[in-house]
Structure 1
Amino acid sequence: MLDLDNRDAAAAVAADGTATGTLVVVDPYSSGSVLARRARERYGVAAVAVLTSETLPPALVATYPAADFTAEVRFSDPAATARAVEDLCGGRPEFLVCGSEPGVEAFDLLAAHWGMRPNSGSSEARRDKFLMQARLREAGVRYIPHHKGADTASVLDWCAASGLAEYVVKPVKSFATDGVYFCSDLAEVRAACERLFGRLDLAGELITEVLVQERLVGPEFVVDSVSLDGSHFVVDMFRYTKETVDGNPVYRAMTAVEVGDHPEITAYVEQVLTALGIENGPGHSELILTADGPVLIETGARMHGGLGAKLVDVSSTHSLIDLTLAARIDPAEYRRRTGVRPSLRKGVVECFLSSPTAGTVTANRVREACAGLDSFLFDTCAQQPGDRMEQTVDLITSYGRVVLANADHEALARDTAVVLDLDRRGALVEVRPDA
């Protein structure tokens, strides 16, 4: 087996671009579900899955492409898991990548165990949003005023003394907007805490602590990056449009923007990645562009989830998926590709569809209503009459996506408005509410 301890894996890549060895993907869910297949297509390597949790949401688990893997291992502890993987591979695997948010800490442990370009500093600070903001403060990077409480009284006391006008309350390890509440007064903060304490988060962990922060004002951006040996490369940017539904932020649209238009965001994200010790592999940062400059909401040490990575492939000169793999399998190729700044080949918008009520689907007209639009690319709505529909309260419960792409930005904006208007009027999917 090759010893890749913080050295190039180029020796493992032949002149024809194929590689020798096995790729381990930790939690290959969501956008990470494409990594094994893409690695096989580009490099000819086989893949083994390491799965960290048995309590993830069914919608997330359903994205796991078991057929793309030669085997799977359930994570227990780093040493035991590493031995199980090595037994399958005939020794230490050559390549390792994190597939999704729940696997971040297990990935860090395995990367350190095998010496495969591990990230530095506290792994927990790359999952725990309180520790994340504290790390930024320690590093002198702009951060959000915040507090972590193990009970409602502690959270209310901090809010009362903070002098802030509005607050955000969420689990310390929230992702996919799970359990995120916007609060304008102490009564709403109390209600948010009562909803959160004692329930399970999306990763199946009991919520015993919550994070409360200042609610920032300004446009929200998502920034995807890939790093190698501490050098960071911003691959793409999107701007979010969200609405607040019963205190919860609900995604409505995500629109690609030119990386070169926001150098201040690029510079800030590079500072964030360094502060959090994300030295190798992908990073997914969400931030608010305030009047004083960008401020981080959170960063994940993994690719953009959901359809994000696929949309980058559609719209950009650079592939987030390919760069994520190259940083681990072919660093020389990564350096070649990142020598040029990315730019948009066409605009792309992901429209998030939202149901105001839970019930039973009686009609699905998404394709019928949207396929004729000039910018229509695809949709993810396969609901049939009789299927169950949940009320949309977060990213997971959005009932589907309509993706639009067009080099004509005016046509793209017009078609986006049409899709969102149809969705708000209930013209895309009809639902018979629960009795």
Structure 2
Amino acid sequence: MPDPTIATDTGTGKLVIVDPYSSGSALARRAKELYGLDSIAVLTSRTLPAALVATYPAEDFVAELRYADVLTTARAVEALCGGRPDHLICGSEPGVEAYDLLAAHWGMRPNTGSSEARRDKFLMQGRLRDAGVRYIPHHLAEDTESAVAWSAASGLAEFVVKPVKSFATDGVFFCSSPDEVRAACEKLFGRDDLAGELITQVLVQERLVGPEFVVDSVSLDGSAFVVNMFRYTKETVDGNPVYRAMSSVDVGDHPGIVAYVEQVLAALGIENGPAHSELILTEDGPVLIETGARMHGGLGPRLVEESSSHSVIDLTLASRVAPDEFARLTRVRPSLRRGVVECFLSAQVGGVVTANRVEESCRELDSYLFHTCGQAPGDRIEKTTDLITSYGRVVLAHEDLAVLDRDLERVLDLDRRGALVEVSPTP
């Protein structure tokens, strides 16, 4: 829950949010509630997936601009604001680089170093290597043969192949041989990624073994505050990783992960604002998969509010709008008030929905909180192969972790048997 003692301001001002999609869609309304700010949206792409675009709450903004280049966009924003805007925030992954350019242009607590390395996974791993931080052995390939040759010569048993700017697990393949690496590359080269950019480079890297965690943090002037952690459960579908559950973890239980994430943020120059880091806890310690210089996407921040002593949304705003308030809120380390689990639902086939039984099947569970499955008979859904094509979520919350574990297994069992949403397969 948001801190009820958070300082508010009823004054006026302008907040610019770059790509307010996904969880970033909550920022404008909350900024108005807490600080009396009007928000302007800067949108960077016309080719994002429809499901992502649908999360943009246009009604929460007093104006909207399309990003052109930094100078043109800055002038357009200044014309609306009567000068430099008061505050600036990145709302989602596609806007990271445009946000960095605008922050540097206006001198509004910009992050440091290469902005591209905060999106490009090859450059990101290189920054870790150069800083002496644990990283994943990797290779940048600009053609299929380069990827196959590196994997064959690497001596590794398992590989991950993905676009260098992948997000939402788009285009991520798990491979067990150079032949599988070849097949993955042939599916990737020449198509567009989720942000609408042509894939001309892929990253081939070792597939690490160990539990996977996601860590959300917010920083101010180089001091990072780890807000929360979740542990992922994934399955592999046709060689692609598919999310199945995300379970809350007490930050205090993993000081080694906290220390490692602080090293990662320093190496990547994320000195101000939110970050979302995914990592594998190997036998040798945590190793980064990737970090996004923005809030956790999707329902992540809402789950934090349902379970944690701190709000990642409020801290994100405070880091950019009210530094003194950020300092006050971060004097106390975060703790879990109750456990929470996000169950990712997965369609075994694509087709037409004939029945939606999510509500009736899950509402009697002791830990049931809410779901996001609004499909009606006649609606179409895709076979789930990544995060975007998951057809919905069931969220559970409870003080007793045994109850959570039991209810999670019940939801996943129903989902695997096709009992939550019935689908008539597309011929």
Where does residue 96 of structure 1 map in the other structure?
A: 88
Q: How many residues align?
A: 422
Where does residue 148 of structure 1 map in the other structure?
A: 140
Note the residue ranges of structure 2 that are not aligned, 5 or more in a row: 1-5
- Distance (whole Å) between structure 2 residues aligned to residue 44 and residue 348 of structure 1: 31
Where does residue 3 of structure 2 map in the other structure?
A: none
CA displacement at 1:19 relative to structure 2: 4.5
Q: Deviations over 1:196-235 (max 9, x none)?
A: 0000000000000000000000000000000000000000
Matches within 5 A, 1:271-420: 271-420=263-412
CA displacement at 1:410 relative to structure 2: 1.1
Where does residue 50 of structure 1 map in the other structure?
A: 42
- Cα separation, partners in 2 of 1:211 and 1:329, compared to 1, 3 Å: same
- Distance (whole Å) between structure 2 residues aligned to residue 19 and residue 271 of structure 1: 37
TM-score for both structures, normalised by structure 1? 0.96
- Distance (whole Å) between structure 2 residues aligned to residue 417 and residue 424 of structure 1: 10
- Cα separation, partners in 2 of 1:132 and 1:400, compared to 1, 3 Å: same
1:187 aligns with 2:185: no
Matches within 5 A, 1:25-104: 25-104=17-96
CA displacement at 1:15 relative to structure 2: 7.5
Aligned AA (2:287)? V
- Runs (4+) of structure 1 moved beyond 4 Å? none
CA RMSD of aligned residues (A): 0.9
- Distance (whole Å) between structure 1 residues aligned to residue 425 and residue 179 of structure 2: 29
> Contact 2:174–2:207 at 8 Å: present in 1 too?
yes
Note the residue ranges of structure 1 that are not aligned, 5 or more in a row: 1-13
- Distance (whole Å) between structure 1 residues aligned to residue 403 and residue 156 of structure 2: 41
Aligned AA (2:296)? H
State the identity as a percent: 76
Where does residue 6 of structure 1 map in the other structure?
A: none
CA displacement at 1:327 relative to structure 2: 0.3
Q: SS where residue 404 of structure 1 aligns?
A: strand
TM-score for both structures, normalised by structure 2? 0.98
CA displacement at 1:16 relative to structure 2: 5.2
CA displacement at 1:37 relative to structure 2: 0.3
Aligned AA (1:337)? L
CA displacement at 1:18 relative to structure 2: 3.5
Where does residue 205 of structure 2 map in the other structure?
A: 213
Among 245, 262, 265, the alignment partner of 2:237 is: 245
Deviates more, 1:101-110 or 1:405-414: 405-414
Aligned AA (1:365)? R
CA displacement at 1:90 relative to structure 2: 1.1
- Distance (whole Å) between structure 2 residues aligned to residue 122 and residue 18 of structure 1: 37
CA displacement at 1:344 relative to structure 2: 0.4
Where does residue 3 of structure 1 map in the other structure?
A: none
- Distance (whole Å) between structure 1 residues aligned to residue 69 and residue 110 of structure 2: 17
